[in-house]
C-alpha cells in the first residue's frame, strides 16, 4: 500500500476482486480504510477483521433526523447463521450493530459521525456492499461442526 497527496494505491488479488465489490471501483472511488487493531490494544467494540464474507445489496436507506436506517439484503444465504440481532457486522469495512433481522435482510442504524466520515452517508438502494460477519460467530459455528450452520441458519429463516 502506498499513499500520496492524490490517494492511496494498493494491489488487489484476484480472490479479492472475485468475492468483493473491489472489481467495480473506478479511479477516484471513495472507500473506507481503518488501521488494524494491534494485538494487546483495548477492544472497545466489534470483533471484525476486514475479511469480506459476502456481498449485500442496499434495499433501503432512510434518513430520520441526523441518523440513517439502512436495510441490506445478503446475496449468499450461507451468511444467515452469522447474523444475529445486536450482533456485529461490517458493511464496506464499517463495523456496526445489527438493529433488526429477518430471513433475507438486516438493518443497521448509522449515527451522524459515521455517516459523515464513511461511505455509508452516500449509500442508495441498489448499491452493492461488502459484508463481514462477527468473528466469534464464525468460530462458534465452525466448532459446532459442518452440519450445524444449516440447522442454526434454518432456525433464523
Instruction: Supply the angle between the helices 148-156 and 135-144 in degrees, to the nearest 10.
Output: 120
Q: Where are the alpha helices (DSSP H) in the chain?
A: 14-19, 112-117, 135-144, 148-156
- C-alpha cell of 5? 497527496
Rounded (5°) CA angle 36-38-42: 105
pLDDT in tens, the chain (157 residues): 677 887 777 788 888 888 888 888 888 888 887 777 778 887 766 676 778 899 999 999 998 888 999 999 998 888 888 898 998 899 999 999 999 999 999 999 999 999 999 999 999 999 999 999 988 888 888 888 766 655 554 444 3
Beta bridge partners of 94: 91
- What is the model's pTM? 0.80
Sort residue 16 into left (φ over 0), alpha (ψ -120 to 50) or beta.
Answer: alpha
Amino acid at each position: 500500500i502506498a499513499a500520496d497527496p492524490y490517494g492511496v494505491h494498493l494491489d488487489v488479488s484476484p480472490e479479492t476482486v472475485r468475492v468483493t465489490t473491489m472489481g467495480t471501483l473506478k479511479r477516484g472511488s471513495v472507500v473506507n480504510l481503518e488501521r488494524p487493531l494491534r494485538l494487546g490494544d483495548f477492544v472497545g467494540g466489534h470483533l471484525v477483521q476486514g475479511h469480506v464474507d459476502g456481498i449485500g445489496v442496499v434495499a433501503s436507506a432512510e434518513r430520520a433526523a441526523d441518523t440513517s436506517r439502512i436495510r441490506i439484503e445478503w446475496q449468499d444465504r450461507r451468511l444467515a447463521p452469522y447474523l444475529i440481532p445486536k450482533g456485529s457486522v461490517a458493511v464496506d469495512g464499517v463495523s456496526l450493530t445489527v438493529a433488526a433481522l429477518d430471513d433475507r435482510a438486516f438493518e443497521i442504524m448509522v449515527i451522524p459521525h459515521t455517516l459523515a466520515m464513511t461511505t455509508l452517508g452516500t449509500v442508495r438502494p441498489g448499491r452493492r456492499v461488502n459484508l463481514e460477519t462477527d468473528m466469534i460467530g464464525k468460530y462458534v459455528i465452525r466448532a459446532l461442526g459442518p452440519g450445524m450452520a444449516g440447522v442454526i441458519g434454518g432456525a433464523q429463516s
